């Protein structure tokens, strides 16, 4: 603090300005030297508790791949230290036991496509959220969305764009990590990348309005934008490989093959992957050849495109729940009205993807529909698209963990993070069990318990 005291002793207008700045900086540094509160301290309440060692005794354990009746799981601090038949797991004498009769314990669920800074479009249209809602309001909503997501059993999410809220997702992630607010572990993309003129909102041609993503074009512009997002805290880069900017609002490719390849190369040089919004065959093809890790949506995918995805090892995150929700917002009475063309197209693309053996990531594009309702994607995949409950449960745990390079979670095994959820019944037989969340643990801290 000696330097700040010397500055404070100076006089004159310039020195007074400098003195004020340095005094403020000194105060901030002093505050920053204080230890951050633990999660238990910051979120103290009846649903949050922690113990050095906890033995969990459910009726069965789904380990990310298979079910095991009679298993128990030992958690010490923030990690799983043992999992297996009750007779084979020895817990410390000081460990507490949490009985979970009739419940299945499984890894914390992983949401593959979320937008914490959006709320359902039947409440407020996307354009109005981007243009009329202040960032402070959107962040306040997002803190509630984060808590609802966690309490629904989703302990990790890929949040794929702030949609006009700048780098606010980075701050939300920091607040969660520091125990200021409860929420899942976040993988964030910040602003996302769009080609100039391709995205929205679009109002009068006389007005340049704030956009829902960052515009970038050409070699210098793309490199600068990717690096800026990484420098601001992006874990992943998201690019819109196509969008509804063609004749009559049709979806058409945005970036050239060279531009997409440069985006991937620039991100990959820093150890980050790229995900692509793409729904047209050509947009998907360019993104796949560029080396993206996942295609989001993929509505217009053809057998040839999905064969290329399979060959290149690119996963599909189909977001069937968002398509279903939007169709209903537009007046579709599901179960009585004819199936809309876009939903028919989604069924055709999903059938082609499954036939080609494309790896599926699970993510619903939550924010289009309510946060905390994340299980809707799994339910629709089973009910409307023919997957089994076991398939979608694997996708939402070990499958997503593998696709997203999260080696420390997604399974129940010693050494992994103690991100665990308990539900009523057997979710490998009835996907509706994912709605019956009775316990949520993240990093050894209980946020919900029976």
Q: How far is CA 30 from CA 4, 7, 178, 278, in A?
A: 12, 17, 17, 48
In a domain, 409, yes or no: no
In a domain, 408, yes or no: no
Count of all residues that appear for the chain in the document = 450
Tell me the C-alpha distance between 421 and 100, whole Å.
11
Considering the domain architecture, whether residues 85 and 203 belong to the same structural domain is answered as no
Considering the domain architecture, whether residues 430 and 299 belong to the same structural domain is answered as no
Task: Provide the residue-wise pLDDT of the chain in tens; the chain has 450 residues.
Answer: 333 333 334 444 434 444 334 333 343 333 333 333 334 333 433 344 555 899 999 999 999 999 999 999 999 999 999 999 999 999 999 999 999 999 999 999 999 999 999 999 999 999 999 999 999 999 999 999 999 999 999 999 999 999 999 999 999 999 999 999 999 999 999 999 999 999 999 988 888 899 999 999 999 999 999 999 999 999 999 999 999 999 999 999 999 999 999 999 999 999 999 999 999 999 999 999 999 999 999 999 999 999 999 999 999 999 999 999 999 999 999 999 999 999 999 999 999 999 999 999 999 999 999 999 999 999 999 999 999 999 999 999 999 999 999 999 999 999 999 999 999 999 999 999 999 999 999 999 999 999
Q: Which domain holds residue 9?
A: 2-32
pLDDT of residue 20: 37
pLDDT of residue 149: 98
Considering the domain architecture, whether residues 53 and 174 belong to the same structural domain is answered as no
Considering the domain architecture, whether residues 52 and 98 belong to the same structural domain is answered as yes
Considering the domain architecture, whether residues 59 and 192 belong to the same structural domain is answered as no
Considering the domain architecture, whether residues 102 and 115 belong to the same structural domain is answered as no
Considering the domain architecture, whether residues 182 and 292 belong to the same structural domain is answered as yes
- Vertex 307: Cα angle to 273 and 377 (nearest 5): 65
Considering the domain architecture, whether residues 368 and 269 belong to the same structural domain is answered as yes
Strands (E), 279-317: 294-297, 315-317
Considering the domain architecture, whether residues 255 and 326 belong to the same structural domain is answered as yes
pLDDT of residue 39: 40
Beta bridge partner(s), residue 75:
54, 80
CB of 394 closer than 8 Å to CB of 434: no
CA 76, chain centre distance (Å): 26
Strands 274-278 and 420-424: unpaired
Considering the domain architecture, whether residues 387 and 429 belong to the same structural domain is answered as no
Beta bridge partner(s), residue 277:
240, 296
Residue 280 CB neighbours (<10 A)? 24
Which residues neighbour 387 within 8 Å (Cβ) at sequence distance 6 or greater? 381
End-to-end Cα spacing for the chain: 50
SS3 371: coil
Strands (E), 2-142: 49-50, 53-62, 67-69, 71-76, 79-85, 96-107, 109-114
In a domain, 83, yes or no: yes
Tell me the C-alpha distance between 392 and 374, whole Å.
13
**What is the chain's alpha carbon radius of gyration, rounded to the nearest angstrom?**
24
Q: Return the CATH number at 374.
A: 3.20.20.140
Considering the domain architecture, whether residues 275 and 183 belong to the same structural domain is answered as yes
Does 201 sit behind a cis peptide bond, omega within 30 degrees of 0 on the bond before it?
yes
Q: How far is CA 341 from CA 38, 300, 313, 320, 364, in A?
A: 51, 12, 29, 14, 19
In a domain, 352, yes or no: yes
Considering the domain architecture, whether residues 379 and 244 belong to the same structural domain is answered as yes
Strands 315-317 and 294-297: parallel
Which among 110, 226, 123, 112 is positioned nearest to 160, based on CA atoms? Answer: 112
Buried b (16+ CB within 10 A) or exposed e, 178-188: ebbbbbbbbbb
Total domains, the chain: 3
Torsion sign over Cα 214, 218, 221, 224: positive
Which among 176, 153, 179, 180 is positioned nearest to 449, based on CA atoms? Answer: 153
Q: If 0-12 CB within 10 Å is exposed, 13-18 middle and 19+ buried, where does residue 431 land?
A: buried
Phi/psi region, residue 258 (left: phi>0; alpha: psi -120 to 50; beta: rest), is alpha
Q: Return the CATH number at 441.
A: 2.30.40.10
């Amino acid at each position: 603090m000696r330097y700040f005291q010397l500055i404070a002793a100076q006089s004159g207008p310039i020195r007074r300005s400098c003195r004020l700045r340095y005094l403020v900086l000194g105060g901030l540094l002093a505050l920053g030297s204080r230890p951050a509160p633990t999660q238990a301290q910051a979120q103290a309440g009846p649903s949050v508790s922690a113990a050095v060692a906890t033995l969990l005794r459910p009726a069965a354990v789904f380990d990310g791949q298979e079910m095991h009746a009679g298993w128990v799981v030992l958690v010490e601090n923030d990690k799983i230290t043992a999992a297996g038949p009750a007779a084979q797991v020895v817990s410390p004498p000081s460990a507490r036991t949490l009985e979970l009769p009739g419940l299945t314990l499984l890894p914390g669920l992983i949401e593959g496509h979320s937008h914490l800074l959006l709320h359902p479009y039947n409440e407020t249209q996307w354009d109005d959220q981007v243009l009329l809602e202040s960032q402070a309001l959107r962040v306040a909503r997002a803190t509630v969305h984060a808590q609802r997501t966690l309490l629904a059993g989703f302990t990790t999410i890929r949040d794929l764009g702030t949609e006009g809220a700048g780098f606010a997702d980075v701050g939300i992630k920091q607040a969660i990590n520091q125990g200021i607010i409860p929420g899942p572990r976040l993988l964030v993309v910040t602003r996302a990348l769009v080609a100039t003129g391709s995205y929205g909102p679009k109002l009068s041609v006389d007005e340049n309005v704030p956009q829902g993503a960052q515009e970038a074009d050409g070699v210098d512009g793309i490199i600068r934008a990717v690096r800026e997002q990484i420098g601001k805290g992006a874990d992943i880069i998201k690019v819109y490989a196509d969008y509804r900017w063609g004749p009559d609002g049709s979806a058409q490719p945005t970036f050239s093959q060279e531009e997409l390849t440069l985006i991937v190369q620039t991100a990959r040089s820093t150890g980050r992957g790229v995900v692509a919004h793409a729904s047209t065959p050509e947009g998907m093809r360019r993104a796949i050849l560029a080396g993206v890790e996942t295609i989001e949506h993929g509505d217009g995918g053809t057998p040839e495109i999905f064969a290329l995805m399979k060959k290149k090892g690119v996963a599909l995150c189909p977001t069937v729940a968002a398509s279903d929700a939007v169709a209903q917002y537009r007046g579709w009475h599901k179960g009585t009205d004819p199936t809309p063309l876009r939903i028919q197209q989604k069924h055709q693309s999903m059938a082609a993807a499954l036939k080609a053996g494309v790896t599926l990531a699970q993510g619903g594009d939550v924010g289009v529909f309510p946060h905390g309702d994340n299980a809707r994607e799994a339910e629709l995949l089973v009910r409307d698209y023919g997957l089994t409950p076991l398939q979608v449960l694997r996708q939402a745990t070990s499958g997503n963990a593998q696709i997203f390079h999260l080696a420390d979670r997604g399974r129940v095994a010693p050494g992994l993070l103690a991100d665990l959820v308990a539900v009523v019944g057997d979710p490998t037989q009835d996907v509706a069990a994912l709605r019956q969340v009775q316990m949520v643990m993240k990093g050894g801290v209980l946020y919900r318990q029976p």
